[in-house]
Chains A and B, each alone.
Chain A
Amino acid sequence: MTADTPAADRRTVIPLDPSLAPPGTRGFRDAGGIPADQWHADQNGETLVPTHCCFCGVQCGMYLRVDRGGKVFGVEPRNHDINRMRLCPKGINAYQQVNHPDRLTAPLMRRSRDEDFQEVSWDEALDFTVSEIKRIQLAHGNDAFGLLGGASLFSEKTYLVGKFARVALKSRHVDYNGRLCMVSAAGANKLAFGIDRAGNPFSDILLTDCLLIAGSNLGECFPVMTQYVWGARDRGASLIVVDPRETAIARTADIHVALKPGTDSAFFNSVLHVVVEEGLTDTAYLAAHTTGWDEVRAKAAEYPPARAAEICGIPAEQIVQVARTFARAPKAMAWHARGIEHHSQGVENCLSVINLCAATGHIGKPGAGYGTITGQGNGQGGREHGQKSDLLPGGRSIMNEEHRRQICEIWGIEEAELPPAGTSMMEMVWQMQRREIRGLIGICNNPFVSLPNYQVVKEGYDATEFHAQFDFFLSETAANAHVVFPVTTWAEDEGVMANAEARVVKHNKAQDPPPGVRTDTWVMCELARRLGAGDKFAFADSREVFDELRIASAGTVNDYYGITYERLEETGGIVWPCPSTDHPGTPRLFEDGKTYHPDGKIHMQAVEWHVPMDPYDDEHPMSLTTGRTVAHFLSGNQTRRLGALVEQTPRPWAEIHPSHGFRNGEPVRVVTRRGSEVFPALVTEAIRPDTVFIPYHWPVPTAANALTIDALDPRSKIPEYKVCACRIEHAAAIDEVPAPPVAPGHVAYPETQVSRTDPLPPTAPQGRGTSERS
């Protein structure tokens, strides 16, 4: 390989263990013979490209199978450190997006929302976009144009999103969809530890004696992590699951705490109360490594088990049992996910878990620690490099004079030109409603499905004068835009992502994009050039962006400086902080007992529980909670198009307890203060009687997010997806159950036909089926 090789063809040969030589390659046929060389075609012309899954924060390694014509056509398990050959159904079917008939292959444009989209040339679409940006900014100021990024983008692209907004658009309004996902944990981590990432790698789970999983449907949302859970349990570790539903991972747990949605911090405070009462705290650790313990202890004293049991709707003995199990374990770990973060008290919930870990001394040891599971593939990396409204690259604060100066120096701009902090994603939608933001570019997000309170979101977007969207499928949000840029999938570009352990992994390019499709990097740089900032965006490819990102993060907490593409290809992933090219990375934090605060201590914060924002009353006595299902990912823009996944879970449902007198599959109307929708009932004892669950991957008329509330956590600005007040009613007729919209290119398996002549609508094949006991 020489320096003048075109960037698209820079492919690195990675030696492979011959015992794992994959089928289809020569090494496989000579099993035990010559190691297979993935990049080298076998007799059939098939090559294997090592990369990672595009979906969740586990970032499983996989090979993409590429045929003689250079097209991705399949997947092959890969023995990577993270997943050790394991994959979930989303990962297995992910490759089907790449050459899907729904792919956009030419820019779409219209001058007003009354017209239909026309396919236009790239020049026309870019020029129209730039002229609209200039028009809006000239008339209403720079901040009238906003940018929304995404956390499924490679880190290089997230870096560009932040830079593009502040340098090319010169607007303060930039945020990303990780705002709906990770920011409560991020806020809590920053407050307590001064660093925003999980403290331990996945492999530490194998060493623990007690694993606490709070608010995570691990078996469906992060299935590949369950191998670590079982690895620990095979050694005799106990498992505690905190979740209103009896999920697949809770089914066999030692303790399943089925608390009422929105009461997590009361529960954890009470657990801490019992730990203190029974003298199970690690007093030496608290004295040496924490501040604020006295306030935390005083607050926990207000939550005796009897009180918390009433708030949470669980037996008080369970709280005592959890406290004893967790505190007495020689090594214990807590992992949590959206279940405790998607709340108007999300930061407090995460802090209450941190308090429990710190009080018992379970921090920063092999098999003992604290972690948060990122939802999106780059949920971790996506918030580190300036996509977030209040952050600059390297996790720097945009309000900190020193940090601003450093970044301005790297970007070559005057400090006066760098805008101040902007607002969060949901707040930007409110600003669109108020016409404070009049133009918007959305990259890699689908708020029409994923933001709460759909009515408000639609009004906000409809009120914009100009809206452009980058996507490879025509998502529900893109269908509302003026311009849609067809961009690459993850398999058509290279770049890095950071998974839930903060391990930076490299995705490789497996095929060339279809004709007419460009990379997000190219489109952003081209827009910047036409806006007159071309000299700041002279990037040919991801590699060049990454080199600038490394320099921009050097010396910060989120230090990527020592990570290079070559090292990532050799090692299979490096955990930041990694300050120099000979540094091995930092898989486990706080091993020396020091956090990233100046005093090196854990700043414990007292947490007060308060009722959720949407009050219960006689009209709305139940809790509505939302979540994911194993076959689909977030807004479903990608997965609702793949036959196998649609077949697995064709439609959403409302999961309710048998005590309400519904038969399985009967239409049930779920009513909240925002609206009402009809779903087939999925009647199961695996959910609390006072709770309704709806998976949120579908657009209206079957959208859970048409019912949810757009209340935000005051600190992290995360919406309260996980609890709002609702009631359920018998719907009048089966015909009231709308079929979920089917994507045009969705190819169904022939045996999958939903018959509308059935007396009842079909439920989701999730195994939570009927409760009609004969």
Chain B
Amino acid sequence: MMGRTIFIDPGRCIGCQACVSACRECDSHRGKSMIHLDYTDEGQSVASLPTVCMHCEDPVAPCAEVCPADAILITADGVVQQADTTRCIGCANCVNACPFGVPKIDLQAKLQMKCNLCYDRTAYGLAPMCATVCPTGALFYGTIEELRAERPGVQVADTFVFGETEVRTGVAMVVPAEKVQWPVPGGLPVVEINGKDVRR
């Protein structure tokens, strides 16, 4: 994970969408929110979970790897920027490549958009908009030491496994201390596509 980064704690999320609203207020993409807020267990629980860009480290950002136009650039401090508008061709390769389902395509503008860790803020040492306003601290911005100082005994994970691929991310997840699985299972394996068993 990066030095100062976002830690996502789904246990604290109350689904209020303050992060979604705050993301719209960010000057780099005003009016459009880059956060996905999912209700994971609808009907049984009010549990919810915000997804921001995970700023993958290894393999280096899958979205950037598959970009045919080299539009997705990564800064020296590990932040995966949103597509450079002068290069992006709106092909949506990055949308398909991202294991977390983060990037979006603005169909009208034919441009990719995604969270860039509020680079206009974090470059100056401020927290991103979402983590600044999050009322519960489900989105926390800082170093792992700062997080541990605030929340004694907290466990975090930054490695997720998708099928046979492990992805190490710059953004980390808080995981239940008593049920640590390493790496964190990041998605259900694909079993069938169009009725065909694709496991072999």
Could you tell me which A residues sit within 8 Å of B by CB distance?
A: 19-20, 23-24, 28, 31-32, 74-75, 77, 85-89, 91-93, 219-220, 223-227, 230, 234-235, 246-249, 251-252, 630-631, 644, 648, 658, 664, 683-686, 765-773
Contacts and interface: CB of A to CB of B under 8 A. Distances in A.
Given A23-B124, A88-B135, A223-B136, A768 B43 contact: yes
Interface in B13-35: 13-18, 20-22, 24-25, 27
Given A20-B126, A28-B124, A75-B25, A87 B46 contact: no
Across the A-B interface, give the 7 residue pairs with the lowest CB-CB distance, nearest first.
Answer: A767-B39, A769-B42, A771-B43, A219-B14, A248-B14, A223-B135, A31-B124
Contacts of A31: 124-125
Contact of B133 (A28, A92, A251, A772): A92
18 contacts: A28-B124, A86-B18, A89-B16, A92-B18, A220-B16, A223-B16, A227-B135, A227-B136, A235-B152, A248-B16, A252-B11, A630-B16, A630-B17, A644-B21, A684-B46, A766-B46, A767-B47, A768-B43
Given A230-B137, A248-B15, A87 B22 contact: yes
Contacts of B127: 85
B17 to A, nearest CB: 5
B151 interface: yes
Interface in B70-102: none
Interface centre among A74, A226, A684 (most CB of B within 10 A): A226
A91 B27 CA distance: 17
A383 B153 CA distance: 44
Contacts of B47: 251, 767
A230 to B, nearest CB: 6
Interface in B102-140: 120-121, 124-127, 129, 132-137
A295 B47 CA distance: 43
Contact of A685 (B22, B43, B124, B134): B43
B43 A88 contact: no
Given A85-B132, A87-B133, A92 B43 contact: no
Contacts of A664: 43
A769 B48 CA distance: 11
A766 B46 CA distance: 8
B124 A767 contact: no
Contacts, number: 137
A20 B43 CA distance: 41
A415 B197 CA distance: 89
A230 B12 contact: yes
B194 interface: no
Given A234-B151, A251-B47, A685-B44, A89 B21 contact: yes
Given A92-B18, A93-B21, A644-B21, A771 B46 contact: no
A648 B17 contact: yes
Interface centre among B22, B42, B44, B120 (most CB of A within 10 A): B42
A768 B46 contact: yes
Contacts of B17: 89, 630-631, 648
Contact of A230 (B18, B44, B124, B136): B136
A223 B44 contact: no
Which of under 10, 10 to 19, 20 to 34, or 35 or more describes the interface residues of B? 35 or more
A220 B14 contact: yes
A759 to B, nearest CB: 18
B45 interface: yes
Nearest to A252: B11
A219 B135 CA distance: 9
B46 A251 contact: yes
A249 B14 contact: yes
Contacts of B13: 248
Contacts of B21: 89, 92-93, 644, 648
Contacts of B18: 86-89, 91-92, 223
Contact of A251 (B27, B45, B126): B45
Interface centre among A230, A247, A767, A768 (most CB of B within 10 A): A767
B192 interface: no
A668 B8 CA distance: 37
Interface string B37-55: 0010011111110000000
A689 to B, nearest CB: 14
Nearest to A686: B46
B25 A686 contact: no
Contacts of B16: 88-89, 219-220, 223, 248, 630
A32 B126 CA distance: 11
B12 A685 contact: no
B46 A767 contact: yes
Contacts of A247: 46
Contacts of A226: 12, 14, 135-136
Nearest to B118: A23
